[in-house]
Amino acid sequence: MSKKRIGIIGAGPSGLAQLRAFESARKKGEEIPEIVCFEKQSNWGGMWNYSWRTGVGKYGEPIHGSMYKYLWSNGPKECLEFSDYSFDEHFEKPISSYPPRPVLFDYIQGRIKRDNVRDYIRFDTTARWVSFDEKTKKFTLVLDDLKNDKTYSEEFDYLVVASGHFSTPNMPYFKGIENFPGNVIHAHDFRGADQFKDQELLLIGSSYSAEDIGVQCHKHGAKSVTLSYRTNPIGVKWPDGIEEMPLVTHFEEDIAHFKDGRTKRFDAVIMCTGYQHKFPFLPDEMRLKTKNNLYPDNLYKGIFFNDLPQLIYLGMQDQYYTFNMFDTQAWLARDYMLGKFELPDKRTRRGDINVWLQRNESLKDGHDHVDFQSDYIRDIIKLSDYPDFNIDKVAEMFKEWLNDKEENILTYRDKTYRSVVTGTMAAEHHTEWMDEMDDSKERYLFEPEEEESDDVK
Ligand code: FAD
Ligand code: NA7
């Protein structure tokens, strides 16, 4: 009998978790199926693989990346640590709790560089279209080899969609914005604060992007930052130079009018208005349709598409937990594909989904969200052999992090946390975050030498 074939779309943290899950089974002596992972970029790492480009890439594909220069982890690294590959193992010394992007990118790569994971990935290859044959129960995947400008197709028994969901902007319209004389961009195209130095900035939105881009622009010298919220303000204590205002109603040239009747002049507008789950390679009946949400509908255990469980989605939830959540999902998905984890019937699955959806409806604040996602991880981690980690402690850290941010949005990244994987306490970074303008790995890992004493002993 020929080997089963597994197709994975995307080599970001979720797709890489899937590859690592299979590698871990292979190392334990299990026979694994034939696996091919398709990645439209030239390298792995998804969002963490920074691109200076905006718009389209060198082959004319929409740019995936939404990360920017000077991006530092927006939560403690102890909350995302792989439980089978610790920060200690990778860096061989304690590091701080909030590393910059290049350092986390390095960590993600460390775990997979030791395996032959790269061999499974076809880079510069875009998944263009998927169809499913009810008779053969196989997927046909149409692929574009971007480098050689060739289109071809291959068949798979299982399809893992790990294409991310923070890439296609949600770009609302505000009356008069077409006549705004300055820059109007979406957070997806923000590549760093430098160009906004000395400017009066308007950021629309009140979630992670607004908070982080606002604080970064303040740190790097914007004249003022105004955050405009639709539903709730972020509500932390803002320093002088950052303020929150209600939603913009319309623009007149460079003047924004707000719901409370106030007006203000701006040099640039950044829409921090979130992203769309977009799967242009999937037909209607296989497409996950959801907003950014802690429990997207139609996914059993947050993973298996209920109408067709051979179709697997990873990392489609809104995220408190990230890398360790993708791992728990990927390990369970692997066991299903290996025939070691059996799914109940469709009705039972639906019932399980409904319970989570109902609870999701009742969540009130960040602490509830953390408890919800922690319980979700508890629910799935027990179903595979992914190494257990202290979820209670991680939930506590998330809640402390939320409090830290409320207390002081400019200094929360100077706090340190203890690893639940190794017990190591994070080191303090050599420079306070507000004074640290260099986000390179070299600068981050550099250890200032002890100052030599002039005292004669
Ligand atoms: P992605 O990282 O988005 O990777 C998806 C991959 O799929 C990409 O490589 C893409 O090129 C590929 N792909 C997409 N479509 C196709 C196709 N048709 N064919 C082939 N390949 C395709 N998380 C944290 O833990 N800490 C943070 O500080 C943090 N900051 C963030 C800041 C920003 C601005 C954003 C946008 C996200 C941030 N995140 C953060 C969340 C981040 O999305 C996750 O950490 C993680 O990258 C999600 O992994 P993923 O593999 O699911 O998706
Ligand atoms: P999120 O977390 O999905 O938040 C989107 C924000 O945009 C949220 O505050 C929304 O307000 C706001 N929004 C959406 N549409 C509109 C319109 N039409 N008008 C005004 N405001 C709007 O996306 P982020 O980009 O902040 O974060 C995504 C990831 O990127 C995250 O994981 C980070 O790690 C980085 P609402 O509250 O719904 O009224």
Strand partners, 35: 6
With bands split at pLDDT 50, 70 and 90, how would you rate the model's confidence at 31?
Answer: very high
Say how many Å lie between the CA of residue 110 and the centre of ligand 1.
18
In this prediction, residues 402-421 reach a mean pLDDT of: 97
Q: What is the pTM for the complete model shown?
A: 0.97
Judge whether residue 114 has pLDDT over 90.
Answer: no
Ligand nearest 247 Cα, by number? 2
Task: Give ∠ CA 109-115-119 in degrees, rounded to 5.
Answer: 90
pLDDT digits (tens, 9 = 90+) for 40-94: 999 999 999 999 999 999 999 999 999 999 999 999 999 999 999 999 999 999 9
Judge whether residue 452 has pLDDT over 80.
Answer: no
Say how many Å lie between the CA of residue 383 and the centre of ligand 2.
33
pLDDT digits (tens, 9 = 90+) for 332-368: 999 999 999 999 999 999 999 999 999 999 999 999 9
pLDDT of residue 116: 83
Judge whether residue 453 has pLDDT over 60.
Answer: no
pLDDT digits (tens, 9 = 90+) for 86-108: 999 999 999 999 999 999 999 99
Among 446, 399, 428, smallest CA distance to 97 is for 428
Judge whether residue 450 has pLDDT over 60.
Answer: no
Mean residue pLDDT across the chain: 96
With bands split at pLDDT 50, 70 and 90, how would you rate the model's confidence at 454?
Answer: low
Cβ 206 under 6 angstroms from ligand 2 = yes
Amino acid at 50: Y
Judge whether residue 128 has pLDDT over 60.
Answer: yes
pLDDT digits (tens, 9 = 90+) for 194-240: 999 999 999 999 999 999 999 999 999 999 999 999 999 999 999 99
Say how many Å lie between the CA of residue 303 and the centre of ligand 2.
23
pLDDT of residue 68: 98
pLDDT of residue 319: 97
Judge whether residue 377 has pLDDT over 80.
Answer: yes
Among 411, 430, 412, smallest CA distance to 93 is for 430
Cβ 231 under 6 angstroms from ligand 2 = yes
pLDDT digits (tens, 9 = 90+) for 291-311: 999 999 999 999 999 999 999
Q: Give the C-alpha separation, 370 to 415, whole Å.
A: 19
Pocket around ligand 1 at a 6 A CB cut-off: 9-15, 38-41, 46-48, 64, 66-67, 73-75, 80, 126-127, 162-164, 166-167, 281, 315, 319, 322
ipTM value: 0.99
Q: How far apart are the first and last CA of the chain?
A: 78
Cβ 230 under 6 angstroms from ligand 2 = yes
pLDDT of residue 1: 65
CA distances from 346 to 134, 349, 394 (A): 17, 5, 33
